[in-house]
């Protein structure tokens, strides 16, 4: 079954404690992306990757890091989380070409206390 898998689904942490949210896709997609969803703001793109070892900033990259060492994985790293990073996070992937559909993971709800 084609899918994008995010882990964990729920996470509560404290300010400053490094964390990683994993994302994996089994569709051999070139493009992967991370979004955060906040009330009234929709989904905003954090980082995206066009292929292995190729990443770029989205609209809200501050406080986040990513890496793309393998085609299937695209982890999101918060080195020093802060309360304003409390949000719902989605990973997505799609085949190359802007017309292609994005497939989303189930989401990770993060609370930073």
Partner 1 sequence: AQKVTQAQTEISVVEKEDVTLDCVYETRDTTYYLFWYKQPPSGELVFLIRRNSFDEQNEISGRYSWNFQKSTSSFNFTITASQVVDSAVYFCALSERTGGFKTIFGAGTRLFVKA
Q: What b/e readout covers 12-21, taking b as 16+ CB neighbours within 10 angstroms?
A: ebeeeeebeb
Catalog residues that contact partner 1 under the rule CB under 8 A.
31, 33, 35, 40-45, 48-50, 56, 58-59, 88, 90, 92, 94, 98-99, 101-104, 106-107
Q: Which is nearer to partner 1, 42 or 69 (CB)?
A: 42
Q: Which is nearer to partner 1, 69 or 99 (CB)?
A: 99
Closest approach, Cβ 87 to partner 1, in A, equals: 13
Alpha-carbon separation of residue 57 from 10, 12, 100 (angstroms): 25, 25, 20
């Amino acid at each position: 079954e084609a899918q994008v898998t995010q882990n964990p689904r729920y996470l509560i942490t404290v300010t400053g404690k490094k964390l990683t949210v994993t994302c994996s896709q089994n569709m051999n997609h070139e493009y992967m992306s991370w979004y955060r969803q906040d009330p009234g703001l929709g989904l905003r793109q954090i980082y995206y990757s066009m292929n292995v070892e190729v990443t770029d900033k989205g609209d809200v990259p501050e406080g986040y890091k990513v890496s793309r060492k393998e085609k299937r994985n695209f982890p999101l790293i918060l080195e020093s989380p802060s309360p304003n990073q409390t949000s719902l996070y989605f990973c997505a992937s799609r085949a190359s070409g802007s017309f292609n559909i994005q497939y989303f993971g189930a989401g990770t709800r993060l609370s930073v206390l």
